[in-house]
Chains A and B, each alone.
Chain A
């Protein structure tokens, strides 16, 4: 993101006369969005859409969600790198919380801690040899990191009670299942997109 301070120089001719200061300087802070910014915003919007979609799916246990938005994060990670994936993921958390009205509520901090820890783990997991480890691995590691971050917040802040230990196996199993499914979906999507783009021979790594 480039911040351009166009026309903000105050014309300071004749500093002795105070009259010139009456003319308001044409100071406008322009935020020039680059093509990459637009791209990040588009991806975050797709992730938001998936979050919205997911909200319509009834869940047997509060907190057990497929995390479909993470498919977008995985694809962005594979194509544009970790930095862009972090932007998309965190934008999704912040914009999503504003959209759904839970900014700064416990639910927001749960998503934030989950997203932060998954990004941290993804930063490490992306260095796994690509020949053997694909999006499925990334997805599973990120899913486990996600629940670990959430359980940490739940235990340290919301419910400091040893009883939540009983729920950990459920969340872990859900992370394994949904992590695998999301990874497969991301891999399949990238396969499809790649075969479409093959003629254009446009390959990002």
Chain B
């Protein structure tokens, strides 16, 4: 197998392909996608769950029970006894650093990746 079979354009293609692979690795393996969800109730960590398994978690708060759903590596608050339902309407969280807060019931879900980044709430 000789290098004489590779023409100039082929080198270009090879380089393009390598750049694609490197970009894919950086994009998909950098831990930007969240690995787990941290569920807090009343300011204390209630549970840390992996996003790998689909499940529903019931979290008790002062007003009642908030239900948190994990599905397809995403998490959301499926139901909440709060009056305005802001956290429910926020929908699915997918990226590390995203957070949904149910203030009246003092329940929150935060997604974290392999390394914790700054977020607008803490920074």
Contacts and interface: CB of A to CB of B under 8 A. Distances in A.
Interface residues of A, number: 32
A168 to B, nearest CB: 6
Contact of B73 (A132, A163, A168): A163
Number of contact residues on B: which range applies?
Answer: 20 to 34
B102 to A, nearest CB: 25
Interface stretch (B13-21, B60-68, B75-83): B13-21
A172 B29 CA distance: 13
A140 B14 contact: yes
B7 to A, nearest CB: 5
Contacts of B18: 176
Interface of chain A: mostly helix, strand, loop or mixed: helix
Contact of B8 (A132, A140, A180, A185): A132
A161 B13 contact: no
A129 B17 contact: no
Contacts of B12: 132, 137
B24 A169 contact: yes
Contacts of B21: 169, 172-173, 176
A96 interface: no
Interface in B1-57: 1-2, 5-10, 12-14, 17-18, 20-21, 24-25, 28-29, 33, 52
A132 B7 CA distance: 5
Contacts of A172: 20-21, 24
Contact of B28 (A144, A166, A188): A166
A80 interface: no
Contacts of A163: 52, 72-73
B29 A141 contact: no
Interface of chain B: mostly helix, strand, loop or mixed: helix
B33 A133 contact: no
A146 to B, nearest CB: 13
Contacts of B6: 134, 136, 184
Contacts of A184: 1, 5-6
B105 interface: no
B22 to A, nearest CB: 9
A140 B13 contact: yes
15 contacts: A132-B9, A132-B10, A136-B5, A136-B7, A137-B9, A141-B13, A162-B33, A163-B52, A163-B73, A173-B21, A173-B25, A176-B21, A179-B17, A185-B1, A188-B2
For the complex of A and B, 5 pairs with smallest distance between CB atoms: A132-B9, A133-B9, A187-B5, A136-B10, A137-B13
